[in-house]
Amino acid sequence: MLRVATIVDSKRQNLLKAVKQRNTHTLALKKMDKIAHKFLHINGQKLHIAEIGSESSPAVIFLHGFPEIWYTWRHQMIAVANAGFRAIAPDFRGYGLSDPPAEPEKASFDDFVNDIASIVDSLSISKVFVIAKDFGTMVAYPFVLRYPQKIAGIITLNMAFMPPAAFKSHPLPEGFYVTRWREPGRAEADFSRFDVKTVVRNIYILFSQSEIPIANENEEIMDLVKPLTSLPSWLTEEDLAIYGDLYEKSGFRTALQIPYRSYMSLGYTDEVPKVEAPMMLILGEEDYALKVPGMLEYVKSGEVKKYIPNIETRYVPRGCHFVHEQFPDEVNQLILTFLDANKHLSKV
């Protein structure tokens, strides 16, 4: 059953107020108070969405990664709304202000894909542009493949579509953060040594660097960040406080399950149908993800076009894993150019 929640509990209200009050550090983000928040009862969950723009405008849905929530798209939401689009950014179940699954350890990518499909239906959106980053792309691609009739176009940041066999010849190191966090209990023990805000801070610092986070045998992933290391210049303490507040609310149980312990639940076969919709891949040139064995070769060789023939790739100089937060103006321009060029496809 789909319905909009009209009553928001006091804890959620307080968190939303904190978001609006803290975001006065730039002129652009003074429009944050125009972003509306609502809760949808979908698939047995209360899911939070942030949105801005007219309901009659072409719709764009933004899918976050980790350690993010809807807020990571704040710059892009305002930009696309100003350009005449409707921006919608959900928190995945178990993230941000959305309810957690009853049993987070049993959550799957299918749950997330079904949630996005239900959100689109509940908002009476016939066709939608999908913009995703990090593991959000692993939700976006199955959604696009299952519901091609709903898709006007797709933009992904820092991850191209990867079939399961793409990197079988490139095993990941034991100390690679993904390998470590897949291990039940390993990340929980590592994170428990710090408060939630420090965990989020450390992950943002690690993921902003150009090298893959790999720990030695005698250290954990959190140990890779030295005490007193500064935040990236484009992330303020106010931003960090918002992420910290929301992860205090949600915890990391679902975040560790999806994506790190659920890659095998993606449900792809080696014969993956092609994505025929127009697509743009935006990559920061200094994103550590490009150093994952096989990744850059896969993109530059054109192998990705076996699966997405209509893909165009754009590189952002000096861009890191969070290129959309680091260089919002450059990324927004790429996004708006793509949306404008394909706006006609949003019409039914």
* DSSP characters over 237-279: HHHHHHHHHHHHHH-SHHHIIIIIT-GGGS---SSPPP--S-E
Q: Which of 48, 64, 75, 321 is catalytic?
A: 321
- The confidence score (pLDDT) of residue 173 equals 85
Q: Residue 175 domain-assigned?
A: no
Q: Which of 71, 95, 247, 260 is catalytic?
A: 260
User: Within 13 Å of residue 213, how many CA atoms lie on the same side as its CB?
Assistant: 21
321 belongs to the catalytic site? yes
Q: Residue 242 domain-assigned?
A: no
Q: Residue 47 domain-assigned?
A: yes
pLDDT of the chain, 348 residues: tens digit per residue: 344 444 456 666 666 665 555 554 443 445 678 899 999 999 999 999 999 999 999 999 999 999 999 999 999 999 999 999 999 999 999 999 999 999 999 999 999 999 999 999 999 999 999 999 999 999 999 999 999 999 999 999 998 887 766 656 667 789 999 999 999 999 999 999 999 999 999 999 999 999 999 999 999 999 999 989 999 999 999 999 999 999 999 999 999 999 999 876 665 555 667 889 999 999 999 999 999 888 888 888 888 898 899 999 999 999 999 999 999 999 999 999 999 999 999 987
Q: Are the C-beta atoms of residues 87 and 123 closer than 8 Å to each other?
A: no
Q: Which of 91, 99, 134, 190 is catalytic?
A: 134
Determine the Cα–Cα distance for residues 133 and 260; give it in Å rounded to an integer.
Answer: 15
- The confidence score (pLDDT) of residue 3 equals 43
The total number of structural domains that make up the chain: 1
Determine the Cα–Cα distance for residues 31 and 81; give it in Å rounded to an integer.
Answer: 11
Q: Residue 271 domain-assigned?
A: yes
The sign of the dihedral angle between the CA atoms of 275, 280, 285, 288 is: negative
- The confidence score (pLDDT) of residue 27 equals 37
Sheet containing strand 151-157, strands side by side = 3-5, 36-42, 45-52, 86-90, 59-63, 128-133, 151-157, 279-284, 311-316
- The confidence score (pLDDT) of residue 4 equals 42
Q: Residue 302 domain-assigned?
A: yes
Q: Are the C-beta atoms of residues 297 and 162 closer than 8 Å to each other?
A: no
For residue 58, what is the DSSP state?
P
Determine the Cα–Cα distance for residues 223 and 180; give it in Å rounded to an integer.
Answer: 13
340 belongs to the catalytic site? no
Q: Residue 255 domain-assigned?
A: no
- The confidence score (pLDDT) of residue 33 equals 81
| Contacts with 198 (C-beta within 8 Å, 6 or more apart), sequence order | none
Q: Residue 181 domain-assigned?
A: no
Q: Report how far apart, in Å, the C-alpha atoms of 150 and of each of 61, 63, 121, 153, 239 are.
A: 12, 16, 10, 9, 33
Q: Residue 216 domain-assigned?
A: no
- The confidence score (pLDDT) of residue 168 equals 63
Q: Domain of 268? A: 3-167+264-346
Residue 61, H or E segment: strand 59-63
Helix, strand, coil percent values for the chain (each to nearest 5): 45, 15, 40
pTM greater than 0.85: yes
Q: Are the C-beta atoms of residues 150 and 127 closer than 8 Å to each other?
A: yes
260 belongs to the catalytic site? yes
Determine the Cα–Cα distance for residues 20 and 174; give it in Å rounded to an integer.
Answer: 41
- The confidence score (pLDDT) of residue 2 equals 40
The dihedrals phi and psi of 154, each to the nearest 5 degrees, come to -140, 135
Find the CATH number of the domain harbouring 65: 3.40.50.1820
